[in-house]
Structures are given as structure tokens and as C-alpha cells.
Structure 1
Amino acid sequence: MVEWKMNRETGVLDRMDERQLGYFFDVDDTLYDHLTPFRKAVEAVAGVNEAFPYEAAYHRMRYYSDLLSLELGGAGAMGTGSPMEEMRRSRFQLALAEFDIELSMEQAAAMQAAYIGCQYEIEMFAGARELIAELVRAGHVVGLITNGTGEHQMNKIRAMELDGLIPPAYQFVSGVVGWDKPDGRIFAHVNEVTGTLPANSYYVGDSWRNDVVGAVEAGWTVVWFNHRGTAPESEHQPHYTVKSYAEIAELLL
């Protein structure tokens, strides 16, 4: 069956190329190690030692971040100001309380400040940039889909110097688009804008809830970047599970 999409510039229908492959990547903890700024922030404020279970605490922080963000209406609704700052403090308080560290509001604010302060000191995972560049050279549609506020996420993308590889029009930030993963509308929006079809779209991401669940339900092919060895959280089935960019490159290229 031939599918069509409306060209927003010309106002006419364009035929969608059924052969066009689209490769899309999550940002946080998929393109770069998101644990690094978390670890630095916890060390700076809580003064814990090497034995502290940073990875487990990090997962709980991301859990509360998603939960509290959803309660506030998602990244598109939060914007900036008090609700956003309170959410960012609370996620640290709730997560670390599970590890017997009680943070005052002042400590949580200091931890958030330290976290943001080093979040843009980004070093991409080995092989990530090379893979993206190779997919672009091969003529595929390549893009990013990430949850968060526009300015915050775009600062990370710029820190990784990805504008030269991925067109800004293919950088989809939930706070700008209006829907947070795993909402299927953000994946449908990406297909519409890029002229790709769900059946020919691949998504690489680390988050089970946001990336695996969201992309599977959108009808995309899902590559779960499970580099932290976490357990599935539902009955959804990623098409591929990998632990390194060497594996991802072997699969996609």
C-alpha cells in the first residue's frame, strides 16, 4: 500500500518512500554515560565512598524523574520555574532516601546544581559518533528523540557537537514537540516529519519504559542498549538487546 504525507512547505501530498530507513537514538545514557554527572553530584554533596551503589541509585533517580515529570504533565508542560526545580530536588531526595541518605532541601538543591554543572561535560560512548556518521554517509535518515526541556537537552546535543551530523529538524526534544516518550504520538510525529514509516524505523535507547515500551508500541524496530544489565520491566519484547556500540554497529550496518 502506498502511503502519503502532507508537505508542510508546499501544502501538497508527497509519496513516502517505503525503502527509506530511519535510525533514531535516545540521548541520555544512550549516546553518553549519564551516570558520570550523577556520580560526581552525589560524591560532592553526600560525601559517600566508592562502595556506594551509584548505579542502583542512578536508576532510582531516573525512575523518580520520569514519575514526577509525568505528574507535572511532562517536559512540555513543566517549562522552567518552581515546579521544575522542586521536581529536580525531589527526585534526588526520594532516590537517595532508598539508600539511607536523607537530603535536606538545601542539600538536594546543591546536588541538582552540581549535577547540572557537569552534565554538559559530555564524552560520547566509544563508537557512537562513528556509527552515526556512517549511517548518515549511507544516506539514511538519522535523528534523535529525547525527553526533557528544549534548552537543557539541546545544550547536551551541542556539547556532543552533533549538529554537523544530524540536522536540527531531526532532533526531537519532548519539551519542544509536546509529548514525552513513551507516548506514541512523539514517534508518529517523528515519522511524519522525516517521511519515514514505522516498519522501517529503528530506535536505539537504554530506558525500558521510555524507549523499549514506547518504540515497540509505535511499531518500530527496537534496539535496547542495555549496557547496565538491567531487567525487563514488562512483557514488551525489544527486537535486539546489545551492550556496546560495537554490537549496535554490527547490527545496523
Structure 2
Amino acid sequence: MNKKAVFFDVDDTLYDHLSPLRSALMEVLGLPKDFPYERAYYLFRYYSDLLSDEEGLSAVPDQAKMERMRKRRFMLSLAELGVNVTEEQAGRLQSAYLKGQFEIRPFEGAVPLIRWLSEAGYVVGLITNGPMEHQMSKILAMEIEKVVPESHIFISGAVGVAKPDPGLFTHVNASTGTRAEDCHYIGDSWRNDVVGSLGAGWTSIWFNHRGAKPESDHQPHHVVSNYEEIGKLYGMNELGK
């Protein structure tokens, strides 16, 4: 019998990625509560992905290039919102942001859903871009390793290929003994998660909890905005029940 599988993205899919960014901006720059943090987050992710691609950092991390990228993404994204920061300020923002990332908690319903899927017989795992140690630190902070086996956690920095490259998804299939047509992928990023999973022949579930607009003509199979909606796709009517 072919194994059905559900894999999750990590950043802004398992936890609120905006929260540590907002905290860093308020702490270091003293920005007001009514600052457009949602827009800042969108730009921050955009430049993070763009600069990482330019430097090839998602697949092959380089410490010096990584440090430069992390500062530049703050400087470029905030400049679009009329806030100019120095390289020194960008470094302090990164430090505050990093600290906040290790104080994260999973979205409500995420862990119960993972448990339910596992008990229902699905292969459940994670696929995320970034350096191995950095991403694992987040996973450990959320204690997701207690419900997802290490053998089902795939991090681009360790594999050597990053989303949206279909090769990462193909690697997951080969490693877990699953087939593309039996795999679902849940993620928030249009470029990395929707385009990447569709390119690999997987069923794509766009976790669009921020009300983002599609960035291309690709068509995800499902669009959801919370974990209750995800649970209903699999016949789980009440998360945790």
C-alpha cells in the first residue's frame, strides 16, 4: 500500500514569523504600534528570499554572506517604508530578531493536527529552507521534534538544495519511500511552497493566513487560513479531539 504523506513548512506556517520581527523593530527602533508591520514582514520575507537566492544561501550556507544578507534585508525592506537604518542598527535588529525566534510557540492547533495525522497513518514531516542548526533551533524551541521524527525533518542547508527547487521534494520522496502523487505540502510562501510543491507534482495547500495575493498563475489545490480549515481537509472536525 502506498503511503500518504503530509509535510509542513516551518517559518510562518508552524508559528507566527511576524511576532519576533515586530518585537525587534519596536525594541531597537522604537517604532509605534500602528507601524505597518504586516507590510514590513512581507518586504522582509521578499528580500530575505531574493538575497538568499542571489548568494545561494538556502542550499549552501556561508557565514559571512549570511551575516551580510541578514543586515541588508532589514535595510532594504525598511527603506521602502521610509525608515533608513544603518548597518550597525541592522545588526542590532538581527540580534533582537534572532533572540525572539527562539521564544516562539506553535500556532494553535498545529501540534494536535500533527498528532492526529500521525495516528491516522500519514507520514508527517517538515521541509524548510535555511541553515541546519538555525532551523533546528526553532523546531526544538517549539518542541516539534516530540511529534515529528528526525528522519522526517528536511532542511535545505543539510540537503544541499532549497525550495522552490523540485529537487528538494524529490529528495524527500526518495528518503521517505513516498510518491509525489501521495504527498501534500502545507506552506505560507507562494514562491517557495506553492510553486515548489506544484513543480514537484505534490498536492499544494497554501496556508494564506495573512490574506496575501497570488504572485503567478500557479493554482494551489487548496487555500486555507487556519489550522481548523486544514484539519477539515483530512476529516478532523475538531482539533485536539
TM-score (norm 2): 0.96
Q: Which amino acid aligns with 1:90?
A: R
Structure 2: 5+ residue stretches without partners: 236-241
RMSD over aligned Cα, in angstroms? Answer: 0.8
Query: Counterparts of 1:210 and 1:195 in 2: how far apart (Å)?
Result: 23
Instruction: Say yes or no: does 1:210 pair with 2:192.
Output: yes
Quote the residue 1:139 is aligned against. Answer: 121
Q: Which amino acid aligns with 2:205?
A: V
Query: Counterparts of 1:197 and 1:141 in 2: how far apart (Å)?
Result: 11
Query: Counterparts of 2:218 and 2:200 in 1: how far apart (Å)?
Result: 12
Q: Which amino acid aligns with 2:202?
A: W
Quote the residue 1:92 is aligned against. Answer: 74
Instruction: Say yes or no: does 1:161 pair with 2:118.
Output: no
Quote the residue 2:239 is aligned against. Answer: none
Instruction: Say yes or no: does 1:30 pair with 2:13.
Output: yes
Quote the residue 1:51 is aligned against. Answer: 34
Quote the residue 2:211 is aligned against. Answer: 229
- Bigger Rg, structure 1 or 2: 1
Instruction: Say yes or no: does 1:40 pair with 2:23.
Output: yes
Q: Does the 8 Å contact 1:174/1:181 carry over to 2?
A: yes
Query: Counterparts of 1:104 and 1:45 in 2: how far apart (Å)?
Result: 12
How much does 1:46 deviate?
1.6
Q: Which amino acid aligns with 2:13?
A: T
Q: Which amino acid aligns with 1:125?
A: F
Query: Counterparts of 1:160 and 1:139 in 2: how far apart (Å)?
Result: 23
Q: Does the 8 Å contact 2:57/2:66 carry over to 1?
A: no
Quote the residue 1:116 is aligned against. Answer: 98
Q: What's the CA shift string for 1:12-70, capped at 9, x where partnerless? A: xxxxx43x101000000000000000000111122111111001110101110011111
Q: Does the 8 Å contact 1:90/1:108 carry over to 2?
A: yes
Runs of 4+ in 1 over 4 A off after TM superposition: none
Q: What's the CA shift string for 1:210-253, capped at 9, x where partnerless? A: 00000011110011000000000000000000101000001123
Query: Counterparts of 2:58 and 2:178 in 1: how far apart (Å)?
Result: 25
Instruction: Say yes or no: does 1:70 pair with 2:40.
Output: no
Q: Percent identity?
A: 54
Task: Please say which of residues 68-77 and 226-235 is displaced more in the overlay.
Answer: 68-77
